[in-house]
Structure 1
Protein backbone atom coordinates (compact mmCIF):
# COMPACT_ATOMS: atom_id res chain seq x y z
CA UNK A 1 0.00 0.00 0.00
CA UNK A 2 1.11 3.52 -0.75
CA UNK A 3 1.50 5.52 2.50
CA UNK A 4 1.62 8.78 0.57
CA UNK A 5 -1.76 8.08 -1.02
CA UNK A 6 -3.16 7.03 2.35
CA UNK A 7 -1.98 10.26 3.99
CA UNK A 8 -3.44 12.29 1.14
CA UNK A 9 -6.80 10.54 1.47
CA UNK A 10 -6.83 10.95 5.24
CA UNK A 11 -6.05 14.65 4.93
CA UNK A 12 -8.79 15.12 2.33
CA UNK A 13 -11.28 13.10 4.40
CA UNK A 14 -10.35 15.07 7.53
CA UNK A 15 -11.12 18.39 5.83
CA UNK A 16 -14.29 16.96 4.26
CA UNK A 17 -15.53 15.87 7.69
CA UNK A 18 -14.67 19.25 9.21
CA UNK A 19 -16.66 21.06 6.50
CA UNK A 20 -19.66 18.77 6.13
CA UNK A 21 -19.74 16.48 9.14
CA UNK A 22 -19.35 12.72 8.82
CA UNK A 23 -22.85 11.43 8.21
CA UNK A 24 -23.89 13.97 5.59
CA UNK A 25 -22.17 11.73 3.02
CA UNK A 26 -22.51 7.99 2.48
CA UNK A 27 -19.44 5.83 2.01
CA UNK A 28 -20.08 5.91 -1.75
CA UNK A 29 -20.31 9.72 -1.74
CA UNK A 30 -17.12 10.00 0.33
CA UNK A 31 -15.33 7.69 -2.10
CA UNK A 32 -16.45 9.90 -4.99
CA UNK A 33 -15.41 13.12 -3.23
CA UNK A 34 -12.01 11.63 -2.42
CA UNK A 35 -11.75 10.73 -6.11
CA UNK A 36 -10.72 7.12 -5.53
CA UNK A 37 -12.19 3.88 -6.81
CA UNK A 38 -14.26 1.71 -4.45
CA UNK A 39 -11.54 -0.97 -4.78
CA UNK A 40 -8.83 1.46 -3.63
CA UNK A 41 -11.03 2.64 -0.77
CA UNK A 42 -11.61 -0.95 0.40
CA UNK A 43 -7.88 -1.67 0.14
CA UNK A 44 -7.14 1.05 2.70
CA UNK A 45 -10.27 1.16 4.86
CA UNK A 46 -12.52 -1.67 6.02
CA UNK A 47 -15.55 0.58 5.91
CA UNK A 48 -16.67 4.12 6.75
CA UNK A 49 -16.18 3.54 10.50
CA UNK A 50 -12.58 2.50 9.85
CA UNK A 51 -12.04 5.65 7.79
CA UNK A 52 -13.39 7.76 10.69
CA UNK A 53 -11.07 5.95 13.10
CA UNK A 54 -8.01 6.47 10.86
CA UNK A 55 -8.91 10.14 10.33
CA UNK A 56 -9.09 10.54 14.11
CA UNK A 57 -5.65 8.91 14.45
CA UNK A 58 -4.36 11.22 11.70
CA UNK A 59 -5.74 14.30 13.47
CA UNK A 60 -4.22 13.28 16.82
CA UNK A 61 -0.81 12.81 15.17
CA UNK A 62 -1.21 16.23 13.52
CA UNK A 63 -2.00 17.86 16.87
CA UNK A 64 1.06 16.29 18.48
CA UNK A 65 3.33 17.59 15.70
CA UNK A 66 1.91 21.10 16.06
CA UNK A 67 2.36 21.01 19.85
CA UNK A 68 5.93 19.69 19.61
CA UNK A 69 6.86 22.50 17.21
CA UNK A 70 5.24 25.08 19.51
CA UNK A 71 6.97 23.80 22.66
CA UNK A 72 10.35 23.67 20.89
CA UNK A 73 10.23 27.42 20.32
CA UNK A 74 8.30 28.65 23.40
CA UNK A 75 9.68 27.89 26.90
CA UNK A 76 7.25 30.22 28.73
CA UNK A 77 4.51 28.06 30.28
CA UNK A 78 1.69 30.62 30.19
CA UNK A 79 2.46 31.43 26.56
CA UNK A 80 2.42 27.70 25.80
CA UNK A 81 -0.96 27.40 27.50
CA UNK A 82 -2.43 30.36 25.64
CA UNK A 83 -0.93 29.22 22.34
CA UNK A 84 -2.67 25.87 22.82
CA UNK A 85 -5.89 27.79 23.43
CA UNK A 86 -5.30 29.86 20.30
CA UNK A 87 -4.70 26.70 18.25
CA UNK A 88 -7.87 25.19 19.69
CA UNK A 89 -9.95 28.22 18.74
CA UNK A 90 -8.48 28.24 15.23
CA UNK A 91 -9.22 24.52 14.79
CA UNK A 92 -12.78 24.83 16.08
CA UNK A 93 -13.55 27.73 13.76
CA UNK A 94 -13.04 25.26 10.89
CA UNK A 95 -15.27 22.56 12.39
CA UNK A 96 -18.85 21.97 11.32
CA UNK A 97 -21.00 21.54 14.48
CA UNK A 98 -22.28 18.37 12.83
CA UNK A 99 -18.79 16.84 12.96
CA UNK A 100 -18.75 16.99 16.76
CA UNK A 101 -22.17 15.33 16.93
CA UNK A 102 -21.37 12.73 14.28
CA UNK A 103 -18.04 11.47 15.62
CA UNK A 104 -19.72 10.45 18.88
CA UNK A 105 -21.69 7.87 16.88
CA UNK A 106 -18.46 6.02 16.01
CA UNK A 107 -17.39 4.28 19.25
CA UNK A 108 -13.82 3.37 18.25
CA UNK A 109 -13.03 6.88 17.02
CA UNK A 110 -14.82 8.58 19.93
CA UNK A 111 -13.09 6.35 22.51
CA UNK A 112 -9.75 7.18 20.88
CA UNK A 113 -10.52 10.90 21.08
CA UNK A 114 -11.47 10.59 24.77
CA UNK A 115 -8.37 8.50 25.48
CA UNK A 116 -6.25 11.20 23.82
CA UNK A 117 -7.87 13.79 26.06
CA UNK A 118 -7.22 11.75 29.21
CA UNK A 119 -3.78 10.31 28.52
CA UNK A 120 -2.21 13.06 26.39
CA UNK A 121 -3.98 16.36 27.01
CA UNK A 122 -4.31 15.72 30.76
CA UNK A 123 -0.61 15.07 31.49
CA UNK A 124 0.35 17.83 29.06
CA UNK A 125 -1.87 20.34 30.88
CA UNK A 126 -0.63 19.18 34.30
CA UNK A 127 3.00 19.71 33.21
CA UNK A 128 2.32 23.16 31.75
CA UNK A 129 0.55 24.28 34.94
CA UNK A 130 3.38 22.93 37.08
CA UNK A 131 5.97 24.70 34.91
CA UNK A 132 3.90 27.89 35.13
CA UNK A 133 3.94 27.78 38.91
CA UNK A 134 7.71 27.21 38.93
CA UNK A 135 8.17 30.12 36.52
CA UNK A 136 5.92 32.28 38.75
CA UNK A 137 3.58 32.87 35.81
CA UNK A 138 0.74 30.90 37.44
CA UNK A 139 -0.38 31.32 41.01
CA UNK A 140 1.39 29.02 43.43
CA UNK A 141 -1.69 28.37 45.57
CA UNK A 142 -3.61 26.39 42.91
CA UNK A 143 -4.31 22.67 43.19
CA UNK A 144 -2.68 21.58 39.92
CA UNK A 145 -4.45 18.21 39.76
CA UNK A 146 -7.85 19.79 40.38
CA UNK A 147 -7.29 22.65 37.92
CA UNK A 148 -6.18 20.14 35.27
CA UNK A 149 -9.39 18.17 35.87
CA UNK A 150 -11.52 21.34 35.63
CA UNK A 151 -9.87 22.38 32.35
CA UNK A 152 -10.46 18.93 30.85
CA UNK A 153 -14.05 18.75 32.11
CA UNK A 154 -14.71 22.08 30.41
CA UNK A 155 -14.33 20.16 27.14
CA UNK A 156 -17.41 18.08 28.06
CA UNK A 157 -19.29 21.29 28.79
CA UNK A 158 -18.17 22.75 25.48
CA UNK A 159 -19.37 19.68 23.55
CA UNK A 160 -22.74 19.43 25.34
CA UNK A 161 -25.25 20.46 22.68
CA UNK A 162 -28.04 20.73 25.24
CA UNK A 163 -26.09 23.45 27.04
CA UNK A 164 -24.64 25.13 23.93
CA UNK A 165 -26.77 24.21 20.89
CA UNK A 166 -24.71 24.86 17.74
CA UNK A 167 -27.66 26.65 16.14
CA UNK A 168 -27.33 29.38 18.78
CA UNK A 169 -23.65 29.41 19.73
CA UNK A 170 -20.37 29.41 17.84
CA UNK A 171 -18.31 26.57 19.29
CA UNK A 172 -15.13 28.66 18.87
CA UNK A 173 -16.65 31.56 20.81
CA UNK A 174 -17.86 29.23 23.58
CA UNK A 175 -14.35 27.73 23.75
CA UNK A 176 -12.83 31.20 24.02
CA UNK A 177 -15.30 32.31 26.68
CA UNK A 178 -14.90 29.18 28.80
CA UNK A 179 -11.12 29.00 28.75
CA UNK A 180 -9.72 32.46 28.27
CA UNK A 181 -11.16 34.09 31.36
CA UNK A 182 -10.57 31.04 33.55
CA UNK A 183 -6.91 30.85 32.53
CA UNK A 184 -6.47 34.58 33.08
CA UNK A 185 -7.64 34.03 36.66
CA UNK A 186 -4.87 31.47 37.17
CA UNK A 187 -2.15 33.95 36.20
CA UNK A 188 0.03 35.99 38.50
CA UNK A 189 0.55 39.66 37.62
CA UNK A 190 3.78 38.61 35.93
CA UNK A 191 1.90 35.96 33.98
CA UNK A 192 -0.75 38.45 32.85
CA UNK A 193 1.96 40.83 31.64
CA UNK A 194 3.76 38.03 29.78
CA UNK A 195 0.49 36.99 28.15
CA UNK A 196 -0.84 40.47 27.37
CA UNK A 197 -0.35 40.04 23.61
CA UNK A 198 -2.28 36.77 23.61
CA UNK A 199 -5.11 38.18 25.73
CA UNK A 200 -5.48 41.17 23.43
CA UNK A 201 -5.89 39.15 20.24
CA UNK A 202 -8.09 36.33 21.52
Structure 2
Protein backbone atom coordinates (compact mmCIF):
# COMPACT_ATOMS: atom_id res chain seq x y z
CA UNK A 1 0.00 0.00 0.00
CA UNK A 2 1.20 3.53 -0.75
CA UNK A 3 2.09 5.68 2.22
CA UNK A 4 -0.84 7.89 3.35
CA UNK A 5 0.93 11.11 2.33
CA UNK A 6 1.32 9.84 -1.23
CA UNK A 7 -2.36 8.90 -1.38
CA UNK A 8 -3.39 12.34 -0.13
CA UNK A 9 -1.18 14.02 -2.71
CA UNK A 10 -2.51 11.82 -5.54
CA UNK A 11 -6.08 12.59 -4.52
CA UNK A 12 -5.32 16.29 -4.45
CA UNK A 13 -3.93 16.08 -7.98
CA UNK A 14 -7.19 14.49 -9.14
CA UNK A 15 -9.27 17.13 -7.35
CA UNK A 16 -7.20 19.97 -8.79
CA UNK A 17 -7.60 18.71 -12.35
CA UNK A 18 -11.14 17.26 -12.29
CA UNK A 19 -12.94 18.59 -9.23
CA UNK A 20 -14.04 16.51 -6.25
CA UNK A 21 -17.42 15.20 -7.32
CA UNK A 22 -16.55 13.91 -10.77
CA UNK A 23 -15.25 10.59 -9.43
CA UNK A 24 -16.99 8.20 -7.06
CA UNK A 25 -15.08 6.71 -4.15
CA UNK A 26 -14.83 3.45 -6.09
CA UNK A 27 -13.33 5.26 -9.09
CA UNK A 28 -10.84 7.02 -6.84
CA UNK A 29 -9.80 3.68 -5.34
CA UNK A 30 -9.21 2.36 -8.84
CA UNK A 31 -7.07 5.37 -9.75
CA UNK A 32 -5.07 4.93 -6.55
CA UNK A 33 -4.91 1.15 -7.05
CA UNK A 34 -5.87 0.46 -3.46
CA UNK A 35 -8.54 -1.83 -2.05
CA UNK A 36 -11.69 -0.69 -0.28
CA UNK A 37 -10.25 -2.07 2.95
CA UNK A 38 -7.13 0.06 2.59
CA UNK A 39 -9.27 3.08 1.73
CA UNK A 40 -11.47 2.58 4.80
CA UNK A 41 -8.41 2.31 7.02
CA UNK A 42 -7.52 5.86 5.99
CA UNK A 43 -10.91 7.55 5.65
CA UNK A 44 -14.11 7.23 7.65
CA UNK A 45 -16.18 8.54 4.74
CA UNK A 46 -15.95 10.81 1.70
CA UNK A 47 -16.15 14.03 3.71
CA UNK A 48 -13.34 12.80 5.98
CA UNK A 49 -11.27 12.02 2.89
CA UNK A 50 -11.78 15.50 1.42
CA UNK A 51 -10.90 17.17 4.72
CA UNK A 52 -7.69 15.16 5.12
CA UNK A 53 -6.66 15.88 1.52
CA UNK A 54 -7.19 19.62 1.96
CA UNK A 55 -5.49 19.74 5.37
CA UNK A 56 -2.47 17.94 3.95
CA UNK A 57 -2.25 20.36 1.05
CA UNK A 58 -2.51 23.40 3.34
CA UNK A 59 0.46 22.00 5.26
CA UNK A 60 2.40 21.57 2.01
CA UNK A 61 1.50 25.12 0.99
CA UNK A 62 3.12 26.45 4.15
CA UNK A 63 6.29 24.49 3.34
CA UNK A 64 6.25 25.83 -0.24
CA UNK A 65 5.85 29.39 1.04
CA UNK A 66 8.85 28.95 3.34
CA UNK A 67 10.90 27.68 0.41
CA UNK A 68 9.80 30.51 -1.89
CA UNK A 69 10.79 33.32 0.43
CA UNK A 70 13.93 31.71 1.87
CA UNK A 71 16.22 33.25 -0.73
CA UNK A 72 14.32 36.49 -1.33
CA UNK A 73 16.65 39.47 -1.03
CA UNK A 74 14.24 41.72 0.88
CA UNK A 75 10.67 41.93 2.27
CA UNK A 76 9.40 43.64 -0.89
CA UNK A 77 10.45 40.67 -2.98
CA UNK A 78 9.02 38.27 -0.37
CA UNK A 79 5.52 39.75 -0.47
CA UNK A 80 5.46 39.89 -4.29
CA UNK A 81 6.76 36.32 -4.59
CA UNK A 82 4.07 34.99 -2.28
CA UNK A 83 1.32 36.76 -4.19
CA UNK A 84 2.70 35.82 -7.59
CA UNK A 85 3.11 32.14 -6.78
CA UNK A 86 -0.25 32.01 -5.01
CA UNK A 87 -2.00 33.17 -8.16
CA UNK A 88 0.08 30.87 -10.39
CA UNK A 89 -0.91 27.93 -8.19
CA UNK A 90 -4.59 28.81 -8.45
CA UNK A 91 -4.39 29.11 -12.23
CA UNK A 92 -3.61 25.39 -12.28
CA UNK A 93 -6.77 24.48 -10.35
CA UNK A 94 -9.98 23.44 -12.09
CA UNK A 95 -12.70 25.85 -10.84
CA UNK A 96 -14.85 22.76 -10.17
CA UNK A 97 -12.58 21.98 -7.20
CA UNK A 98 -13.46 25.26 -5.46
CA UNK A 99 -17.13 25.02 -6.42
CA UNK A 100 -17.36 21.45 -5.10
CA UNK A 101 -15.79 22.50 -1.81
CA UNK A 102 -18.22 25.39 -1.41
CA UNK A 103 -21.33 23.40 -2.35
CA UNK A 104 -20.68 19.94 -0.94
CA UNK A 105 -18.08 20.42 1.82
CA UNK A 106 -18.86 23.80 3.44
CA UNK A 107 -17.05 22.88 6.66
CA UNK A 108 -13.86 22.14 4.73
CA UNK A 109 -14.27 25.35 2.73
CA UNK A 110 -14.67 27.28 5.99
CA UNK A 111 -11.45 25.65 7.19
CA UNK A 112 -9.69 26.93 4.05
CA UNK A 113 -11.00 30.45 4.64
CA UNK A 114 -9.91 30.37 8.28
CA UNK A 115 -6.44 29.27 7.19
CA UNK A 116 -6.31 32.23 4.81
CA UNK A 117 -7.37 34.60 7.57
CA UNK A 118 -4.92 33.23 10.12
CA UNK A 119 -1.81 31.79 8.48
CA UNK A 120 -1.72 34.02 5.39
CA UNK A 121 -2.66 37.12 7.36
CA UNK A 122 0.04 36.48 9.97
CA UNK A 123 2.66 35.73 7.29
CA UNK A 124 1.86 38.93 5.38
CA UNK A 125 1.86 40.88 8.65
CA UNK A 126 5.28 39.53 9.61
CA UNK A 127 6.82 40.34 6.23
CA UNK A 128 5.37 43.85 6.06
CA UNK A 129 6.54 44.55 9.61
CA UNK A 130 9.99 43.27 8.65
CA UNK A 131 9.92 45.68 5.71
CA UNK A 132 9.01 48.61 7.97
CA UNK A 133 11.87 47.81 10.34
CA UNK A 134 14.34 47.56 7.44
CA UNK A 135 13.16 50.78 5.84
CA UNK A 136 11.46 49.30 2.75
CA UNK A 137 7.88 50.02 3.85
CA UNK A 138 6.60 53.25 5.32
CA UNK A 139 6.43 53.57 9.09
CA UNK A 140 3.01 55.23 9.10
CA UNK A 141 1.07 52.27 7.66
CA UNK A 142 -1.45 50.26 9.69
CA UNK A 143 0.09 46.78 9.66
CA UNK A 144 -3.10 44.88 10.51
CA UNK A 145 -5.09 46.75 7.89
CA UNK A 146 -2.43 46.30 5.21
CA UNK A 147 -2.29 42.53 5.81
CA UNK A 148 -6.08 42.34 5.56
CA UNK A 149 -6.18 44.41 2.36
CA UNK A 150 -3.51 42.22 0.72
CA UNK A 151 -5.65 39.13 1.37
CA UNK A 152 -8.86 40.78 0.15
CA UNK A 153 -7.12 42.02 -3.00
CA UNK A 154 -5.92 38.48 -3.63
CA UNK A 155 -9.51 37.22 -3.32
CA UNK A 156 -10.61 39.92 -5.76
CA UNK A 157 -7.92 39.13 -8.33
CA UNK A 158 -8.81 35.42 -8.44
CA UNK A 159 -12.59 35.96 -8.43
CA UNK A 160 -13.82 35.03 -11.95
CA UNK A 161 -17.00 37.05 -11.40
CA UNK A 162 -14.93 40.22 -11.06
CA UNK A 163 -12.20 39.42 -13.59
CA UNK A 164 -13.53 36.77 -16.04
CA UNK A 165 -10.48 34.94 -17.45
CA UNK A 166 -11.87 35.17 -20.98
CA UNK A 167 -11.81 38.97 -20.75
CA UNK A 168 -8.84 39.70 -18.50
CA UNK A 169 -5.28 38.43 -18.42
CA UNK A 170 -4.64 37.35 -14.84
CA UNK A 171 -1.02 38.48 -15.00
CA UNK A 172 -2.07 41.95 -16.10
CA UNK A 173 -4.69 42.14 -13.36
CA UNK A 174 -2.06 41.08 -10.84
CA UNK A 175 0.33 43.76 -12.05
CA UNK A 176 -2.34 46.47 -12.08
CA UNK A 177 -3.46 45.69 -8.54
CA UNK A 178 -0.25 44.88 -6.74
CA UNK A 179 2.42 46.96 -8.45
CA UNK A 180 0.64 50.15 -7.46
CA UNK A 181 -0.53 48.99 -4.05
CA UNK A 182 2.82 47.55 -2.94
CA UNK A 183 4.63 50.58 -4.35
CA UNK A 184 2.29 52.82 -2.35
CA UNK A 185 3.30 51.03 0.85
CA UNK A 186 6.98 51.48 0.09
CA UNK A 187 9.53 54.09 0.94
CA UNK A 188 11.54 55.40 -2.02
CA UNK A 189 14.04 52.58 -1.46
CA UNK A 190 11.31 49.94 -1.45
CA UNK A 191 9.39 51.40 -4.39
CA UNK A 192 12.47 51.19 -6.59
CA UNK A 193 12.87 47.50 -5.74
CA UNK A 194 9.18 46.78 -6.42
CA UNK A 195 9.30 48.41 -9.86
CA UNK A 196 12.53 46.61 -10.72
CA UNK A 197 11.08 43.25 -9.69
CA UNK A 198 7.90 43.69 -11.73
CA UNK A 199 9.92 44.85 -14.75
CA UNK A 200 12.54 42.08 -14.51
CA UNK A 201 9.93 39.34 -14.12
CA UNK A 202 7.60 40.74 -16.77
CA UNK A 203 4.58 40.80 -14.47
Q: Do Structure 1 and Structure 2 share a fold, with TM-score over 0.5?
A: yes
For the pair 1:111 / 2:113, whether they are aligned, the reply is: no
Partners in 2 of 1:122 and 1:169 — Cα distance? 27
CA apart distance, 1:74: 3.2
Judged with a 3 Å threshold, the aligned counterparts in structure 2 of structure 1 residues 126 and 168 are, in CA distance, closer, same or farther, namely same
Partners in 1 of 2:170 and 2:100 — Cα distance? 15
Judged with a 3 Å threshold, the aligned counterparts in structure 2 of structure 1 residues 41 and 167 are, in CA distance, closer, same or farther, namely farther
For the pair 1:141 / 2:140, whether they are aligned, the reply is: yes
Q: Which shows bigger deviation, 158-167 or 27-36? A: 158-167
**Matched residue, 1:31:** 29
Decide which of 58, 61, 76 is 1:60's aligned counterpart. Answer: 58
CA contact (8 A) 1:97 1:171 kept: no
Partners in 1 of 2:154 and 2:191 — Cα distance? 23
CA apart distance, 1:111: 2.0
For the pair 1:91 / 2:89, whether they are aligned, the reply is: yes
Following superposition of structure 1 onto structure 2, how do residues 145-184 of structure 1 map, counting pairs within 5 Å? 145-158=144-157, 160-165=159-164, 174=173, 177-184=176-183
Judged with a 3 Å threshold, the aligned counterparts in structure 2 of structure 1 residues 198 and 26 are, in CA distance, closer, same or farther, namely farther
CA contact (8 A) 1:100 1:159 kept: no
Task: Report how many residues are paired.
Answer: 200
CA contact (8 A) 2:83 2:154 kept: no
Note the residue ranges of structure 1 that are not aligned, 5 or more in a row.
none
Note the residue ranges of structure 2 that are not aligned, 5 or more in a row.
none
Q: Which shows bigger deviation, 180-189 or 146-155? A: 180-189
**Matched residue, 2:48:** 50
Q: CA RMSD in A?
A: 2.5
CA apart distance, 1:171: 6.2
CA contact (8 A) 2:175 2:198 kept: no
Partners in 2 of 1:92 and 1:101 — Cα distance? 13
Judged with a 3 Å threshold, the aligned counterparts in structure 2 of structure 1 residues 108 and 153 are, in CA distance, closer, same or farther, namely same
Decide which of 67, 70, 83 is 1:69's aligned counterpart. Answer: 67
CA contact (8 A) 2:8 2:52 kept: yes
Partners in 2 of 1:173 and 1:52 — Cα distance? 33
User: TM-score, normalised on structure 2?
Assistant: 0.84
Judged with a 3 Å threshold, the aligned counterparts in structure 2 of structure 1 residues 171 and 74 are, in CA distance, closer, same or farther, namely closer
